Chains A and B, each alone.
Chain A
Amino acid sequence: MNEIKITLNGKEVTAIKGEKILAVAERNGINIPTLCNDKRLEPYSSCFVCVVEVDGVRSLQPSCSTPVNEGMVIATDNNRIRQARKTALDLLLSNHYADCVGPCKQTCPAGVDVQGYISLIEKGKYREAVALIKEANPLPAICGRVCVRPCEVACRRNLLDEGSGVGVDYMKRFAADRDLEDVERFMPDKEPPTGKKVAVIGAGPGGLSAAYWLQQKGHQCDIYEAAPKAGGWLRYGIPEYRLPNDVLDKEIEGITGLGVNIFCNQKLGDNLKFADLNRDYDAFILAPGSQKGTRLGCEGDEAENVFPGIDFLKQMELTGKRPDFTGKTVAVVGGGNTAMDCCRTSIRCGAEKVYVVYRRTEKEMPANPIEIHESKLEGVEYMFLTNPVRVNKDEAGRVKSMTLIRMELGEPDSSGRRRPVEKPGSEFEMEVDYILAAIGQKTELSFLEDVNSGTTKGVLKANKWGDIDADPDTLRTGVENIFAAGDSVTGPATIIEAVAQAQTAVHSCHNYLMGIDVVPPSRVFYSRKDNFKEQVATEYAGLFVPQKRQEMPVLDPKARMNFAEVELGYTDENIVRKEANRCLECGCTAFFDCDLQRYATEYRADQKRFAGEFNAFDVDFSHPFIEFDRNKCILCGKCIRICREYVGANALGLVNRGFVTYVSPDMDGSLRDTKCETCGMCISVCPTGALMENYKFKPGPIEATPVRTVDFFGSEGVTYDLYNRSGFFMGADGAPGVVNPDGSIGRQQRFGYNVLNRLERIKTPLMKKDGEFVEVTYEEAFRVISEKIRASEADRNIFMAGARLSNEEMYMIQKLARAGVKTNNISSFHYMGRCHGYLNSSDDNVPFGELEDATAFFVVGAELTEDNQYTGFIVNNIRYRKGTPVKVITTKEESSMTHKADEVAKVRSYYSFIKAVNSLIVQQTLYNKMYIDDHCEGFDDYVAEISSLNIEEQAKEAGVPVDVVERFARQFTSNHNPVLIFSEKEVCPDTAQEIRNLAMLSGILGKRSAGLLCLKEKNNSQGLIDAGISAGRLPGGLEITGRDSLAVAEKKWGISGLSERTGSVKSLLMEGKFDNLFIFGEDPVGCAVDRETVADAISGAGFTVVQDYTLTETALLADLVLPATYPFETGGSFTNTQRVLQRFGKETESPVGMSNLRQIAEIASALGMEASADPDVILDEMFGFLTKDKNERAFVITEGRNRQAMFLHGADSLVKLFDEYFGGEFDNN
């Protein structure tokens, strides 16, 4: 070994000479950021984010490609390096015309993940949606009604559909109302108690939110509220027709339900002394709100019947009495939402005339446009560009009239709105009975002195606007354990701003309580399209289908003379789903795993520092599975390289030079028109969201839980994660496993989850009664099954197990048959009529890891690009790196392997071809005599059989000239480490046997890095052989040759009387010689080549039981259907095509009440047999049968019977669904 010593960040470490700095650092636990490096690929060095400093080298070095040398001294983190990395990121981001999150989330003061919860709502996951909202806003039912909705204003749908943004609030309300009505409402998890106590002053939106989050963090929160009830302005300011009190109460219950106490009628500085609180609490959140209404502020405003509007509203709520305005004229002054509440309430109190007096025009009104619209419907009249000058009183001091003046708009003021100026001489008088001034509120800080006299930890002060003085970034006040939030800090503002303030105050307060420095929450980097240019309608036109907003049903304006809620809420899920579908998904799907965003946050990148020209592209959706957004591309080249070096499709390349370079499919066309294999490797390596899955649903993005599993589609046994969000699969990605340590996966694994989402799963047993399936209990199902079995002769029962099942399931099925029912009628449709020839296909297979040293690959009837992509990757990568030749033998007109092969031979028959090769090897004595003598049996017989064969004729049958046969024979026998890859899907059993003969002839069977690689069709095809799914063979392949051979099983199982009768299950089935048929995890009817024959055979059963995920075509013919659990819902093991046995765990709870294993155990138990349902116990038991491999290497004489598979898709409904889905997506688009 070339071991050397280097110094890494001051520490001496050992490394291998030539190793790259990045790799050495990673091995030593030092993370260096990189965007363009991938272990599977040769170093590229384009991003320059991974730079490090090497002593003695002037410039910074890209660590991904710089090899280490003896004595090298390297620093991976210092100011110079950080600056360089930041600049690299700044530069990349200056040409990254993309949004990390949508404008909805960007503009929401509380940062609610709107796109995320819309995604959940689309899937009907309302409770989940509420959970997501409540992470940022604990008041969804309230905000769903009365929020000012900056999100909807910012929504890009506005650009498309005439200003109707997505109905975010309507959907939020729908989800929140569902939750409020739910018996089991959403409650967040709580941290264990910290023993700390926090007093919150004020039970308005800010105080309630603060208490909600602090309580979750384990601190005991008590809220002190001055008013008789909690809610603050939510209760005392917003009238009930907009926000019913019971909704408010229920929402508050969502907070008190966590353990928060609310003490009402407790006013700080009045009947509540800070000094007292200070004894009991560790920290405080002040959220008393802005309580004081502003007076009209003109001459005579002290007149009777002139009130601040909010005092009017509050009084009404406090007293529960509604003033009688019948026949009266009310003038409301102001243009905000309080003015709306006042005018609409006045109408409801019977006023004859209600005027809104506003000094600007309607366009400038801060009130929600819907409110203005509704108020007009209700009869409110508007006097724009008008302002009060004087209130005129009668003798009793009551208001009599108001003198108003006309206004006009002048130059814009600091708020950007045009300043209203009086029109001289335009005064006029209007008779009114009441004037409500809705022109603002003030914070009342009467408690300052009380607080200051009760604490020694600092001084609480007012700021120059009369609000609480708090650090704007931490909201900590002058007193170290007092934090403030809401209107009392900001002055009168919105509910959602108060909630946002609570977030900050909670962050600081929590840090304080936990002894952590009180610093502002770290800023998350968001790339924004708005940083480049304003978004305009023309850019969106034509890209999306126009679709108007689903209108909110409202109370008939005529029926509104009361305080009943005006907006009625969406009525059904379809409408909500339609509205959800209007979301344009502006936020990036890759948000949660975007390296660029992560580093940009870490290095505090600045998107605007190098603002300049940028490249803008249309997003390419032309490929049904891969979405390509070049705007996000940072030209790391990983997609191009993985596709070329690893996958071998070479579907992508670079176009242009310099700044305008971009990644594009061949010839600048669509990815569909390339050799793209839809493996999704490009998606997995993309460090941003440039290459994404073309999702078939709203992906959010939302964080989902990875469910790790071993592939249950194909036979390679790759490990991967399915991303689950409460039962919905949001995506999949490879994970490092025993077979795929690099975490690569193929298309079935990456996109197969879509099929799972589409499955209509059976969750309870279904019994056919009068031709219809009805739900029955498990007990009932098992009772019927056991009765049917008991009523029949043992051998009139047939048990079929699919290649998708786990070893444990298979083992238990055959045990149930053999030990429980006493029959050997056990088989699988998967291998029906073919198994024998494949029995030893996987013996002595070359492990993936050994392929590296192969000297040539001979691919005989295996479409690695389609069916076995992982194998394809490995083979292609070795070919790319080492030049190892790939030779393809195919019967196909156009093999999908052609462009990855160095040589392609088209043959008519695999069997004839291999047999011709073998004959030639024997006849020209090219075989390895020494190996054969030492290791093999039956050679002489084989020679006798084959030496007389006419090679010319054989070649003719194979459809090739003799020299092709000879060339193959010579190449194969002369190669040092040839590996022959074939698949059971493509070659028939006799061919498989001849291939094995060939491997023995050339003396490579069992040799390291040489020999055979048989690709089985299904994840556990091998398991069928090993677990005893065979009439004639016990687990471990023990042949049943008579009574004695059964002794092993009888001893292990502690029983006697196992049947020794074995015979063709296929014959029994086809000839109808059976009563009961049990099919586990297979869909022979749906997958049959000859559907009618198979359906007839199955219909011939007296009683058929099918266990599967869904009502497959076979299940539809059954009398009883049992629901099946997914592998990762049960745990167990699969044996891959190279006989690597891999275990996987139970990762999620199943919606099916009972696991497959438990169901089998219950059936067994109904038959009086004891059986375990624990995969570990079962596997241990099964291991007892597995003897050491005999490694039998005997030449087999074959007859060339062409036993074609009777079933497609491996007889698995899941594979069938995937194949149909996959092909369909290409056909339909």
Chain B
Amino acid sequence: METKVIVGLGSCGIAAGAGKVFETLNKLRDEGKADFLLSRTSCVGMCYREPLVEVVDGKGSVIYGNVDEKMAAEIISRHLLKNEIISEWVVRSESQETVDDTFFGGQVKIALRNCGFIDPEKIEEYKARGGYRALEMIAREKIAPEAVVQMVMDSGLRGRGGGGFSTGLKWKLTLNSQSDEKYVICNADEGDPGAFMDRSLLEGDPHSVLEGMIIGAYAVRGNGGVIYCRAEYPLAIKRLYIAIDQARKNGYLGKDIAGIEGFNFDLYIKEGAGAFVCGEETALMASVEGKRGMPYKKPPFPAESGLWRKPTNINNVETWANIPWIITEGPEKYASYGTEKSKGTKVFALTGKINRGGLVEVPMGITLREIIYELGGGIQGGKQFKAVQMGGPSGGCIPAALVDTIIDYDSVTSTGAIMGSGGMVVMDETTCMVDVARFFLDFTYKESCGKCTFCRVGTKRMLEILTRICEGEGKESDIELLEELAYQIKDSSLCGLGQTAPNPVLTTLKYFRNEYLAHIVDRKCPAGVCTKLLTYEVIPENCTGCTVCAKNCPVDAISGERKQLHHIDQAVCIKCGLCFTKCTFDAIRKY
């Protein structure tokens, strides 16, 4: 068999320099340095090892990590030409154990089944791995829409966008709504800070989403579809366009799809302008209709009256990607993974202070500990794990003490966080939890559409309170006021954005109240993050009197003769931290 060299060209890979690696390999091949098939794939999940280059030959597959142009050339010369596996660069191989093996150890890839394994721009590769077989099965076996809905119901699949509503039930409601026109929508307006599951999926396997949507349209008797994708995902959009075009040419979109008489369906991509709130389904639909992206009150639910007031079924990217697998492999198999009420797998984007940041797909029921310490390889720099933020701005922080929490909808919710769309931001001891809350509030306050009072003004006021706490101007009554506002905003906001915006504050207050009190009462930031609460001091034993700190101080707060002990005037110091970073003798401490 011909040797195949595959470069991971997802956004993460490209950002790490995979584009140049690809060019180098291409050049080498063109120059006739070696004979191989150069191919591309997308993110396999090991973002922390990008760029990744996979060599597949008769002996199997070897994946090299952190490849640069020079290494690429070496891989050609050594691996391809000399048949030498460069074992110190290998991150994954059938023939060799690697430290990264544990990253894949607990994973079960359903939604991500093709990511990193196929060229996402080639429908043949998708089909080669079983793509469109689900749709063809439905056509061949004449499975009725109702039966398809039942299969999805039986799988126990719940909405992976964060809502966790039963997908099958949602489909059933849409199917049962009477209308001449019905729509299916793919919500690809991924906007949580630190979340990139949908992007990776669309970049790595767009057809699985398309096939899911086509099946969904068939099941609810829909005739039009929209993929609402944020414009900040150009690669995903490009690959979607390619995939749609290929699907049309292959008869999977258009009239009498897959030979099913009367099943006419087509879809288009609507690029969102990056408003976070447009991920909320009613705002999303308003945006598709060309209106300002503002949510409206449900009911009526989209299943009754959605896009253009027609019954509409909206699912998230990951949800759609699961569908073909469920059909081909059977709902029972899907439901065999997970816990009683949360079936199947979930994709998470691991980020933050973790050793192996990337994309993982794990079966429901796994513990946080397994994800963080085994898949994720623990905390960077051997620091103390403090908390993990799940669910983005709508979610909350789960403290280290709850690291054995099981990943399923109910367990996560009971901590005060939410499963969300799958963002997992890991924090260590150097993270200030008040600052984290402030960060997320700053996000939601900016992303509020401005429609309803509590979200528009309430989040602003919460942010102001958090800011003043971080700046050492908090009042003791602030915690109470913050809590009151938080509950009121949760209680009286129109859409999910407002209803969940206080979660980061509520969970940090729940688990890290002492940190708040330290800021307010002691005027100290225990994690040393909130600059205005920091004190910079010269450590007399270490100071050599080199004057570097004094020279760099922008406000002349540091005094001291050359070769004499220096001193920082606390009244003048603006806590910029320049002295701390500039000192080469570790003679400045901050606390």
Q: How far is the CA of A368 from the CA of B448 in the complex (A)?
A: 53
Alpha-carbon distance between A95 and B296 when the two chains are bound, in angstroms: 23
Q: How far is the CA of A67 from the CA of B300 in the complex (A)?
A: 9
Beyond A45-B494, A51-B492, A612-B460, is A92–B453 a contact (Cβ under 8 Å)? Answer: yes
Structural contact, B452 and A654, CB atoms closer than 8 A: no
Of A58-66, A205-213, A706-714, A905-913, the stretch lying at the interface with chain B is A58-66
Q: Are B464 and A661 in contact (CB under 8 A)?
A: no
Q: Which residues of B contact A95 (CB under 8 A)?
A: 457
Q: Are A60 and B491 in contact (CB under 8 A)?
A: yes
A95 to B492 Cα, complex, angstroms: 18
Q: Is B264 an interface residue (CB 8 A)?
A: no
Contact residues in A for B494 (Cβ distance below 8 Å): 45-46, 48, 62
A948 within 8 A of B: no
Residues of A within 8 A of B492 (CB): 48, 51, 59-60, 62, 84, 87-88
Give min CB distance, B311 to chain A, whole Å. Answer: 16
The answer on a CB contact under 8 Å between A612 and B450 is no
The answer on a CB contact under 8 Å between B484 and A613 is no
B456 at the interface (CB under 8 A from A): yes
The answer to whether B297 touches A658, judged by C-beta atoms less than 8 angstroms apart, is no
Contact indicator per residue, chain B 446-480, by CB within 8 Å of chain A (1) or not (0) = 11111111101111110010000000000000000
Q: Tell me the complex Cα distance, A634–B453, Å.
A: 8
* Known interface pairs A91-B461, A610-B461, A657-B447; A48-B499 also in contact (CB < 8 Å): no
Closest residue of chain A to B499 (Cβ to Cβ) is A59
> Which residues of B sit under 8 angstroms from A44, Cβ to Cβ?
296, 451
Q: Do residues B453 and A43 form an inter-chain contact, with CB atoms below 8 A? A: no
User: Does B235 touch A at the CB level, under 8 Å?
Assistant: no
When chains A and B are docked, how far (Å) is the Cα of A47 from the Cα of B458? Answer: 12
Contacts of B488 in A (CB 8 A): 83-84, 87
- Please report the C-alpha to C-alpha distance between residue A259 and residue B484 in the assembled complex, in whole angstroms: 56
Q: How far is the CA of A120 from the CA of B451 in the complex (A)?
A: 40
Enumerate chain A residues within 8 angstroms of B459, measured Cβ to Cβ.
658-659
Contacting B at CB under 8 A, from A38-94, are 43-49, 51, 59-60, 62, 65-67, 83-84, 87-88, 91-92, 94
- Mark B273-310 against chain A: 1 for CB-CB distance below 8 A, else 0: 00101000000000000001000110100000000000
Which residue, of B292, B299, B464, B492, has the highest number of chain A Cβ atoms within 10 A? B492
* Interface flag for B490 (CB, 8 Å): yes
Provide the bound-state CA to CA distance between A635 and B488, in Å. Answer: 19
Q: What range describes how many residues of B lie at the interface?
A: 20 to 34
CB distance from A62 to the nearest CB of B (A): 6
- A635 CA to B447 CA, complexed, in Å: 17
- Write out the residue numbers on chain A whose beta carbons fall within 8 Å of the beta carbon of B490: 59
CA–CA, A393 and B126, complex, Å: 118
Pick from B292, B449, B484, B491 the residue with the most CB of A within 10 Å. B491
Does B297 contact A87, Cβ atoms closer than 8 Å? Answer: no
Asked if A456 is at the interface (CB within 8 A of a chain B CB), the reply is no
Q: How far is the CA of A806 from the CA of B456 in the complex (A)?
A: 53
Given contacts A658-B447, A659-B445, contact A46 B452 (CB under 8 A): yes
Q: Is A656 an interface residue (CB 8 A)?
A: yes
Q: How far is the CA of A613 from the CA of B461 in the complex (A)?
A: 8
Contacts of B450 in A (CB 8 A): 635, 654, 656-661
Known contacts A59-B499, A67-B299, A613-B460; is A657 also within 8 Å of B446 by CB?
A: yes
Q: Shortest Cβ distance from A85 into chain B, in angstroms?
A: 9
Contact B297 A43 (CB under 8 A): yes
The CA of A45 and the CA of B456, in the complex, are separated in Å by 13
Partner of B461, one of A49, A65, A66, A612: A612
With A and B bound together, what is the CA distance between A903 and B586 in angstroms?
A: 78
Contact indicator B292/A654 (Cβ below 8 Å):
yes
Question: A84-125: which have CB < 8 Å to B?
Answer: 84, 87-88, 91-92, 94-95
Task: Report the Cα distance A59→B493, complex, angstroms.
Answer: 9
Contacts of B449 in A (CB 8 A): 657-658, 661
CB within 8 Å for A84 and B491 given contacts A66-B297, A612-B460, A659-B448: yes
Q: Report how far A51 CA is from B453 CA in the complex, Å.
A: 12
Query: Could you tell me which residues of chain B, from 413 to 452, have a CB within 8 Å of some CB in chain A?
Result: 445-452
Q: Decide yes or no whether B485 CB sits under 8 A from chain A.
A: yes
Q: Separation in Å of the A211 CB from the closest CB of chain B?
A: 47
B299 CB contacts on chain A under 8 angstroms:
67
Give B495 Cβ to nearest chain A Cβ, in Å: 10
Residue of B nearest to A43 (CB): B297
How distant is the Cα of A95 from the Cα of B449 in the complex, in angstroms?
16
Task: Tell me whether B485 and A659 are in contact (CB under 8 A).
Answer: no
Main secondary structure of the interface of B (DSSP, over half): helix
The residues of A that contact B297 with a CB separation of less than 8 Å are 43, 45, 62, 65-66
Question: Which residues of A are found within 8 Å of B452, using beta-carbon distances?
Answer: 45-48
Q: How far is the CB of A93 from chain B (nearest CB, A)?
A: 9
| Distance of A635 Cα from B459 Cα, bound (Å) | 16
A47 touching B453, Cβ below 8 Å: yes
B447 / chain A contacts, CB cutoff of 8 Å: 657-658
Give chain B residues whose Cβ lies under 8 Å from the Cβ of A43: 297
B498 to chain A, nearest CB (A): 9
A80's nearest neighbour on chain B, judged by CB, is B491
Residue of B nearest to A58 (CB): B491
Please give the distance in Å from B289's CB to the nearest CB on chain A: 13
> Shortest beta-carbon distance, B164 to chain A, in Å?
15
User: With the chains together, A236 CA to B177 CA distance in Å?
Assistant: 87
Distance A91 CA – B457 CA, assembled complex (angstroms) = 6
Alpha-carbon gap, A617 to B492, bound state (A): 28
8 Å CB contact of A48 from B296, B446, B454, B460: B454
Task: List residues of A (1018-1072) whose CB comes within 8 Å of B's CBs.
Answer: none
Which residues on the A side are within 8 Å of B493 (C-beta)?
A: 48
Complexed CA–CA distance, A529 and B464 (Å):
20
- Taking a contact as CB atoms under 8 Å apart, the answer to whether A658 and B448 are in contact is yes
User: In the bound complex, how far is the Cα of B292 from the Cα of A637, in angstroms?
Assistant: 12
Chain B residues, CB < 8 A from A637? 451
Interface string of B244-278 (1 = CB under 8 A from A): 00000000000000000000000000000001010
Given that A84-B488, A612-B464 are known contacts, is A94 also in contact with B457, CB under 8 Å in the complex?
yes
Q: How far does the alpha carbon of A770 sit from the alpha carbon of B459 in the complex, in Å?
A: 78
- Digitize A610-649: 1 where CB-to-B-CB distance is under 8 Å, 0 elsewhere: 1011000000000000000000001101000000000000
Chain A residue with minimal CB distance to B464? A612
Q: Contact check, A635 vs B451: say whether CB atoms are below 8 A apart.
A: yes
Select from chain A the residue with minimum beta-carbon distance to B493. A48
Binary per-residue interface labels of chain A (869-907) against chain B in the complex, 1 for a CB within 8 Å, 0 otherwise: 000000000000000000000000000000000000000
Q: A46-B494, A59-B491 are in contact. Are A658 and B454 (CB under 8 A)?
A: no
Contact A87 B484 (CB under 8 A): yes
Complex formed: what's the CA distance from A654 to B277 in Å?
A: 16
For residue B451, which residue of chain A has the nearest CB?
Answer: A46
Closest Cβ of chain A to B51, distance in Å, is 37
Give the complex CA separation of A49 and B485 in angstroms.
15
Per the bound structure, the CA–CA distance linking A60 and B498 in Å amounts to: 13
CA A162 to CA B162, docked complex, whole Å: 62
Q: With A62-B494, A654-B450 given, is the CB distance from A94 to B461 under 8 Å?
A: yes
Measured CA separation A660–B457 after assembly (Å): 9
Q: Chain A residues near B457 (CB, 8 Å)?
A: 91-92, 94-95, 610, 659
Chain B residues, CB < 8 A from A612: 460-461, 464
- Report Cα–Cα, A654/B460, bound state, in Å: 18
A51 to chain B, nearest CB (A): 5
Residues of B within 8 A of A84 (CB): 488, 491-492
Minimum distance in angstroms from A94 CB to a CB of chain B: 6
Point out which of A92, A613, A657 has the most chain B C-beta atoms below 10 A from its C-beta: A657
The answer to whether B454 and A88 have CB atoms under 8 Å apart is yes
Taking CB atoms, residues of chain B closer than 8 Å to A658 are 445-450, 456, 459-460
17 contacts between A and B (CB under 8 A): A44-B451, A45-B296, A48-B454, A59-B492, A59-B499, A65-B297, A66-B297, A84-B488, A87-B485, A87-B488, A88-B454, A634-B453, A635-B450, A654-B450, A657-B277, A657-B449, A659-B450
4 smallest CB-CB distances across A and B, nearest first, come from A661-B450, A65-B297, A91-B457, A658-B448
Sample of 4 further A-B pairs with CB below 8 A, known A87-B485, A657-B450: A87-B454, A87-B484, A91-B457, A656-B450
